[in-house]
Structure 1
Amino acid sequence: MTFMVQAVEHFSVSRGADSRIMVEKQLSREQLLLEIDRLRQQVEDLKEEKADLEILLETTAEHSDTIETQLRYRALEAVREGEIKLAQFLEAIPVGVAVLDSQGKPYYINHAGQQLLGQGVLPLNAVENLSETYQIYIEGTDTIYPAEKLPLVRALRGESARVDDIEIHQSERKIPLEIWGRPIFDERGKVAFAIAVFQEIAERKQAEEDRHKFIKKLFELNNVLEKSLDAESETTDAYGRFVPHQFLNLLGYESIIDVNLGDQVQQEMSVMFADIRDFTKLSETMTPQENFNFINAYLSRMEPAITSNNGFIDKYIGDAIMALFSDFADDAVKSGIAMLNILTDYNERRQSVGYIPIKIGIGINSGSLMLGTVGGKNRMDSTVISDAVNLASRIEGLTKDYGVSLLISQETLERLRNPADYAIRIVDKVQVKGKSQYVTVYEVFDADPAEILSAKLANLAVYTEAMLLCDRKEFREAGKLFEECLRTNPSDLVARIYLKRCRDWRSLLKGI
């Protein structure tokens, strides 16, 4: 009985139940703790009853031997009854319980333990050959479990242990077990008993195996999904070289496969056209392969100037570039200035290897336009339709007439956050093809060579006054001011054009 009381008091992870037969095959740790508490309370009651009997026995020692004998008999009966009750509790627990004494000899094993281990009693040499005797293996292998690592054996060394990587190999099946081992100490602190509680965990192992299979399957599906997404991303990127991602975003799509014929959206944007001057004449001096090499070398240098300023290239038209900017007109103007600066570096490289430098003209206009898709069932294309687009193209053409590199419209000028941030001067009011009203265009000359830029800035006040005089038809005074501009900057073609116009208008007025 002493062991039984110690076992209940010291084994903190034991299994418990009342004397009724429990139908559950596997108990949780919380359930076992609850049952063991109930068992501990009953044992405490037995201990109190025994103590009362012992006190009674001591106080009646002077009585006759008959009374003493009766009391001892009653005490022994109480103890025996307690042992029987405790044994009934241990036998009713649906988990295995095995006990070794301090010498490692078998002391007790309940019925559930006998069934799980496949043998009736513990052998006398349990410690030395426990794994071989009960065919205890490392889970999933044919390797005998090291006896010194068994929780029951470790409990003899004063250790508490738990393992769940053990299998009992029986003739018909393999039984996975979870085992707890605890030492039970005597009043001197030495190991008096080693107790192990164990239960079959086949269902849990199966659940874990199913979970691992599910996770593996999920991982495989995730890999397939990632590969599919990568493939779609690669496809989208590939299509993005033909239809810009920004174009799709403006239409409200993320992938080219979502686009339908006739999709359209209206936007306020700035449109840029950039074209190489005299490209036809230049291309005649090159072979087809050289033409392609030249075009790709030029376009690949211009693209970053556009994308880095929040724009995107809508299309290449031979050597020409059509680009769109949806945020601010400043982005388009800054992009044009950047392109001209890049061109300066590119021309230096061309000249260093014996090629002639090239010139480009850039025209920018801002306004409302329609983006969408056009075409037929088997072939469609992205496009931009608007009078603002046509005007941008016409303005680019005017750069040749005035000998300047970058022209912008009045609409673009008005959309600049701070026009004073740029070197700008008015060039003309013109009536371009397809427009009934006159259009005012301005030169942005920030990218001019340093000496020409300085001269234009120095003459800007005189130049602006001369333009105002022309507008008031005071051609003599205007001509004088343009002459002044040309004295300090002879290469100013715009001033030269207006000087000639002033003279022509004066002659015309005289003739009238």
Structure 2
Amino acid sequence: MLEEEPSREHLLLEIERLRQQVEDLKEEKADLEILLETTAEHSDTIETELRYRALEAVREGEIKLAKFLEAIPIGVAVLDARGRPYYVNHAGKQLFGKGVLPLNAVEDLSESYQIYIAGTDTIYPYENLPIVRALRGESAKSDDLEIHQPDKKVSVEILGTPIFDEGGKVAFAIAVFQDITERKQSEAERHLKLNKSLESLAAELDLTDAYGRFVPHQFLHLLGYESIIDVNLGDQVQQEMSVMFADIRDFTALSETLTPEENFKFINAYLSRMEPAITSNNGFIDKYIGDAIMALFSDCADDAVKAGIAMLNTLTNYNEHRQKVGYIPIQIGIGINSGSLMLGTVGGKSRMDSTVISDAVNLASRIEGLTKDYGVPLLISQQTLQRLRNPADYAIRIVDKVQVKGKSQYVVVYEVFDADPPEIRSAKLANLPVYTEAMLLCDRKEFREAGKLFEECLRKNPSDPVARIYLKRCRDWRSLLKGI
């Protein structure tokens, strides 16, 4: 079993320990010499023997240090305090291709030993060499060096450390360095492989982003996919969601007054303003149907209602802009319903699309159509009302119990009027107790009393279309009952 290669830090510590041992032996020799000089009775034989023993101890330490440095597989080089090469071990000579060279100045170090900035033909700045920095008393490390030998280039990592004398001055600078060519090549290969992976991922993300403009990312996530390329025909999932339909009122008549180019500019100007109101409330647009929008909200019904309110507020600002440039304002209707949906993919081999299938979707579309009948911009179903965290956070009133096309049961719908002009909203809120009582009386078929309360609502808010509709109904129902 191979022994683990010593670390550079360990080697430096060992070098320093051995150097200190040599220094201690030198001091011991000096002490012995002083002792011999001051002790006259010692014979010349004893003096000679002691000197010999001291010199042998010093020589033994130096030999041990030299053997250690020559045996280690990591390069070691030493500069003296004046910056002149003092020692290079065997591993260092192999890396440099040469041993100790006579230099005129430390400035010649990089050029003499052919040390370059890695990957270039630029001589490495001598002042940045770790061993030169060690002469300034710094400990430094660099791995951006390259030694140019006649037949190859060797990448090296160098750690420079200063050795101080007793006075605190730099006596030597030691550099420990090793061949990191294989490591650099491995890193380059890893970077190349990583770059290819990133390029592949970027291409896939670009593709997914491009498809995301046609198939919403949220739709993919609900199906359990990250990329459009993973989707298969027939993939489907069931979810509890809120569905919104929004449509421009009388768009056909408006579009007939515009050229085809003007039509598309108008629709895109309108849709681009509505989209942020939906996405900022955790919804996504499932599809555009001409001028109509179908949006889905998976978190909670509050998101859908808040998005509807935001769309109407945005429309108010858009209409102000339209009037300033000479265009007529537009009106929209929004219908929201909540329930269980099936999301999935439909189509054939050559054409596939995402879609949502559910009775809850159809009902949301029918509720949007009711906004035209009642002259209000935002209606929600009772299922949506029941899913709101706190209905009291909104301005809501009941509108009707209706039997929409395709439904055998009656559906209760409510108006959300938070986005009404402030004076209209205040009037509806002030009338809300009277209005609610009138609706209860209608439900009990007490049309005379209900009609009186609706008249009271209209005196305070003449522009209330729902109160006007119910006042007419009360009169019609009373006439009908008289006829019977």
TM-score relative to the length of structure 1: 0.73
Q: Distance in 2 between matches of 1:298 and 1:305?
A: 12
Q: Distance in 1 between matches of 2:107 and 2:370?
A: 98
State how 1:232-251 maps to structure 2 within 5 Å. 232-251=204-223
Matched residue SS, 2:214: coil
State the one-letter code of the partner of 2:426: S
Q: Distance in 1 between matches of 2:130 and 2:477?
A: 114
Q: Cα distance, 1:303 vs. partner?
A: 1.1
Indicate if the aligned counterparts of 2:233 and 2:347 stay in contact, CA closer than 8 A: yes
Indicate if the aligned counterparts of 2:397 and 2:436 stay in contact, CA closer than 8 A: yes
Q: Distance in 2 between matches of 1:269 and 1:310?
A: 12
Q: Residue 351 of structure 2 corresponds to which residue in structure 1?
A: 379
Q: Residue 448 of structure 1 corresponds to which residue in structure 2?
A: 420
Residue 485 (1) aligns with residue 461 (2): no
Q: Distance in 2 between matches of 1:102 and 1:420?
A: 85
Matched residue SS, 2:419: coil
Residue 369 (1) aligns with residue 345 (2): no
For residues 54 and 127 of structure 1, do their structure 2 counterparts lie closer, same or farther at Cα, with a shift above 3 Å needed? Answer: farther
Q: Residue 281 of structure 2 corresponds to which residue in structure 1?
A: 309
Tell which structure's C-alpha radius of gyration is larger: 1
Q: Distance in 2 between matches of 1:494 and 1:104?
A: 98
Q: Residue 253 of structure 2 corresponds to which residue in structure 1?
A: 281
Indicate if the aligned counterparts of 2:29 and 2:55 stay in contact, CA closer than 8 A: no
State how 1:180-191 maps to structure 2 within 5 Å. none
Q: Distance in 1 between matches of 2:140 and 2:267?
A: 75
Range 254-263 or range 466-475, more displaced: 254-263
Residue 508 (1) aligns with residue 480 (2): yes
State how 1:91-240 maps to structure 2 within 5 Å. 92-93=67-68, 95=70, 136-140=112-116, 204-205=178-179, 208-240=180-212
For residues 383 and 480 of structure 1, do their structure 2 counterparts lie closer, same or farther at Cα, with a shift above 3 Å needed? Answer: same
- Which deviations, in whole Å up to 9, do the C-alpha atoms of 1:133-170 show, x marking residues without a partner? xx943424898998xx9989x99xx989999989798x
Q: Residue 304 of structure 2 corresponds to which residue in structure 1?
A: 332
1:468 aligns with one of 431, 434, 440: 440
TM-score relative to the length of structure 2: 0.76
Q: Cα distance, 1:74 vs. partner?
A: 4.4
Q: Cα distance, 1:300 vs. partner?
A: 1.0
Indicate if the aligned counterparts of 2:225 and 2:231 stay in contact, CA closer than 8 A: yes
For residues 220 and 497 of structure 1, do their structure 2 counterparts lie closer, same or farther at Cα, with a shift above 3 Å needed? Answer: same
Q: Residue 422 of structure 1 corresponds to which residue in structure 2?
A: 394
2:405 aligns with one of 430, 433, 436: 433
Q: Distance in 2 between matches of 1:326 and 1:159?
A: 65
- Which deviations, in whole Å up to 9, do the C-alpha atoms of 1:292-351 show, x marking residues without a partner? 111111111111111122211111111111111122222211211221222222222222
Count residues with an aligned counterpart: 465
Q: Cα distance, 1:236 vs. partner?
A: 1.8
Unmatched 5+ stretches in structure 2: none
Matched residue SS, 1:337: helix
Matched residue SS, 2:113: strand
Q: Distance in 1 between matches of 2:469 and 2:141?
A: 98
- Which deviations, in whole Å up to 9, do the C-alpha atoms of 1:240-282 show, x marking residues without a partner? 1111122122222222222222222221111111111121122
- Which deviations, in whole Å up to 9, do the C-alpha atoms of 1:430-456 show, x marking residues without a partner? 111111111111112222233333332
Q: Residue 6 of structure 1 corresponds to which residue in structure 2?
A: none
Indicate if the aligned counterparts of 1:136 and 1:168 stay in contact, CA closer than 8 A: no
Indicate if the aligned counterparts of 1:136 and 1:144 stay in contact, CA closer than 8 A: no
State the one-letter code of the partner of 2:211: Y
Q: Distance in 2 between matches of 1:268 and 1:419?
A: 19
Q: Distance in 2 between matches of 1:53 and 1:86?
A: 22
Identity over the aligned pairs, expressed in percent? 61
For the aligned residue pairs, the C-alpha RMSD in angstroms reads: 5.0
Indicate if the aligned counterparts of 1:469 and 1:477 stay in contact, CA closer than 8 A: yes
Q: Cα distance, 1:224 vs. partner?
A: 3.5
Range 87-96 or range 174-183, more displaced: 174-183
State the one-letter code of the partner of 2:437: E
Indicate if the aligned counterparts of 1:466 and 1:481 stay in contact, CA closer than 8 A: yes
